[in-house]
Structure 1
């Protein structure tokens, strides 16, 4: 890995820290190395450094001269990143650092996620902690763990560890946006076992593969109508089951709950006498689906290839229930907000489906800024899955973050943005899950705002960060820290 050209980008202070961070494996729930890295960083600066009981790292830095009378600021970002790679990329996230490249105004990774979400926020805070020239009030840097798969770091942060009155969350992905609220969420898991049956000797096997989808963040990009590999695969299955008696052996589709699934692979069997018509049907349906998604997912591929006949398949009655339940399972926007223009209120991502060895598992992430609406959609999904005989569980629930339009620090950010850019910022809530709502439970008096540089394609190998936007963001952060309200 040679990221020299990245280190030479401006602002060098931030890009160098990002390159250092990206050399450290930091998958959600496997953050031991990055926690040790961050602890060593704080201690190396002779700053007060603490790792709390769940693994969050807190580094405190005194105010610079003349800033002692201003409110203490918590600078917050999360250490973990989503690990996703293209099928044709040979890469081991557990042992390799992210290999980066420059394409025009964008920094990207070579075939993997970049980790700009939320690594650029982490790197920005590191650069501020290391600087001896940036003017700022007393700082408490909070680096949380496991934001991407449960927010357990934020949930586990105890009251009394922070003294700050203002929290700046550096985890928003549009540089002209100031975040004041976000959606809450709940993980939905549906499981069941089933009896398998022997495959008849008159059957021929096929591998169905859906890949090349755009994918992305299941909160920030759910409104874009992007293809969901699990739902598209089920379109193939449900039609071929009804028309050609297709039988299902196994499925592996999707990945993390917060990533719109890009790939799905299924092993199926069809009577030899029906194979010619089956192949023609799949080809025709595949072309129709690709036409539907040519704007949002131009690289979509749907393939049907012959395979070795498996020993067993799902029995017909269970398969009938399964394909119909997945067809019925809501995916995408459930309701737009009636109060905030263009804001998704409630949505669901059918994130992962696995079928193998007599077991079905379906993973979803349901989000909403309105608790009652989230419950309604969760019960809608529960009903669909229970009708196919699944046990349905809810877990990982986290609250939304209610906007405070009277925030004192919001006024500072809006005024600074207008002065620096000669235009109004967009003050908005987002449909992603930010940690502010959770942190606010133990720190209810803390004034919170979220903002960040422009990032595209988060949670997918197309993730990229704008170079000019980071320059804009770096200036913005420094100007904000100069003018924090007095105590």
Structure 2
């Protein structure tokens, strides 16, 4: 069978993307892909290093005639978000991503694609391997664990990189040049409850709410998409007003940086007929409200096996009130940049079973004081519900500086190549530039990339034509890097 990627342009990017997607590379499980990059650099005969965090650095001398240009650090992260549809049988620890071509898009079969940030990695590999692309002195920095803590960027040691300009290849609109991003913090609430015996005369049912679009909890939060955890909570909260049921388990979402697409709850129900009537009524209201933004949302109820223990009425009421009270979605918009979210929260996962409750959030903001304000608000809601709260993984935002030499070079080149002006902006996603900038404050930084849709969800896809456009832009930038002072 022919490999569909052999016909795509630029051939070198798709070949390298196919290679790295054959290697499982979940966040915090990057050992195999890190070692593969070491082997790649050494095979090319280039100076190659791996630090104790598994970050990889590969250096390449300037091509003839560009020795007097500023040194460039090309940077992308090796890890990818692992998400799959519930009905997809796939082992991320053992299998490579199963990709296919659909018109102008490369997609994956029922899982995330890993274009975030695999296309960036593949582009850098293509430049390192090329014998014809003109460029200044280069160093390629491949970081680990960007998606779940930015550990690789945090643990960079002083002097590990030495570029004058950082080109981060990790944004998702090909007409954008990003010069700033949000910071973030993980908020986790945990609580124990005493399991109560269930009434064996009750009926046991499972409610599944699914079919939501999901997506990136930073870039897509502005779209106002449905959060499965919030919607399931609303459903149960309304039914709990009039019907008697007992929560056996409740599970929705599993990654902080992905808007949860699915939630399921197992209940013991006193009166199934009346319960189903109320469920249908509340479901119709929710589905009607959301039919435009979430046209594929589905709410199903099926029989479930008998379970001996569940939550007490008091515990489940407090649980539902706590989740209901927690803010989810956009909190504030940036007052200085149009259509940019300043601060937001994603109620990323809710897990209730066997006497333990965990609620995990990711709060983002480009304004440090607002990040603290929203963190205090969510922490207060959780603590009022009796939860123990921890905050971890805080990372800084990246303050925009539109006046650097590389921004002006890129703006002029974009207009020359594509006869239009690029959108120079900041984004609500967390990029490693903020952290790297703390380590190397004098380094000019910019982020850009091809068009990617549905990142952090099984709907993730990358545009083929946009990847070619991105490649043309990237290689032109390297050829036109400003001179050293």
Common fold: TM-score over 0.5: yes
Which residue matches 1:288? 285
Which residue matches 1:434? 431
Which residue matches 2:443? 446
Task: After superposing the two structures, state which structure 1 stretch, 295-304 or 403-412, moved more.
Answer: 295-304
The CA distance in 2 between the partners of 1:317 and 1:287, in whole Å, is 27
Which residue matches 1:316? 313
Tell me if the contact between 2:251 and 2:350 (Cα under 8 Å) persists in the aligned partners: yes
| Residue 354 of structure 2 corresponds to residue 357 of structure 1 | yes
The CA distance in 2 between the partners of 1:91 and 1:50, in whole Å, is 33
Which residue matches 1:248? 247
The CA distance in 2 between the partners of 1:292 and 1:354, in whole Å, is 26
Structure 2 counterpart SS, 1:14 = helix
Offset of residue 176 of structure 1: 0.2
Structure 1 stretches of 4+ with a deviation exceeding 4 A read none
The CA distance in 2 between the partners of 1:305 and 1:17, in whole Å, is 45
Give 5+ residue unaligned stretches, structure 1. Answer: none
Tell me if the contact between 1:241 and 1:247 (Cα under 8 Å) persists in the aligned partners: no
Structure 2 counterpart SS, 1:412 = helix
Offset of residue 3 of structure 1: 7.6
Which residue matches 1:411? 408
Which residue matches 2:138? 139
Render the CA deviation track for 1:68-97: whole Å, top value 9, x for unaligned. Answer: 001110000000000111111111111111
Q: Which of 339, 342, 345 pairs up with 1:345? A: 342
Tell me if the contact between 1:186 and 1:366 (Cα under 8 Å) persists in the aligned partners: yes
The CA distance in 1 between the partners of 2:452 and 2:100, in whole Å, is 15
Offset of residue 245 of structure 1: 2.1
Q: Which of 296, 300, 303 pairs up with 2:297? A: 300
The CA distance in 2 between the partners of 1:320 and 1:285, in whole Å, is 18
The CA distance in 1 between the partners of 2:322 and 2:172, in whole Å, is 35
Task: After superposing the two structures, state which structure 1 stretch, 83-92 or 170-179, moved more.
Answer: 83-92
Render the CA deviation track for 1:196-216: whole Å, top value 9, x for unaligned. Answer: 111123311110111111110
Give 5+ residue unaligned stretches, structure 2. Answer: none
Tell me if the contact between 1:352 and 1:364 (Cα under 8 Å) persists in the aligned partners: yes
Task: After superposing the two structures, state which structure 1 stretch, 179-188 or 232-241, moved more.
Answer: 232-241
Matches of residues 70-219 of structure 1 in structure 2 within 5 Å? 70-219=69-218
Render the CA deviation track for 1:336-358: whole Å, top value 9, x for unaligned. Answer: 11110000000000000000110
Tell me if the contact between 2:238 and 2:282 (Cα under 8 Å) persists in the aligned partners: no
Offset of residue 398 of structure 1: 0.3
The CA distance in 1 between the partners of 2:317 and 2:287, in whole Å, is 25
Structure 2 counterpart SS, 1:350 = strand
Tell me if the contact between 1:3 and 1:99 (Cα under 8 Å) persists in the aligned partners: no
Tell me if the contact between 1:3 and 1:100 (Cα under 8 Å) persists in the aligned partners: no
The CA distance in 2 between the partners of 1:175 and 1:22, in whole Å, is 22
Render the CA deviation track for 1:162-205: whole Å, top value 9, x for unaligned. Answer: 11110000001000000000000000000010111111233111
The CA distance in 2 between the partners of 1:438 and 1:35, in whole Å, is 20
Offset of residue 58 of structure 1: 0.3
Which residue matches 1:270? 269
Render the CA deviation track for 1:221-256: whole Å, top value 9, x for unaligned. Answer: 001111111111101211122211221111111010
Structure 2 counterpart SS, 1:188 = strand
The CA distance in 2 between the partners of 1:398 and 1:80, in whole Å, is 18
Render the CA deviation track for 1:116-161: whole Å, top value 9, x for unaligned. Answer: 0000000000000000000000000000000000000000011101
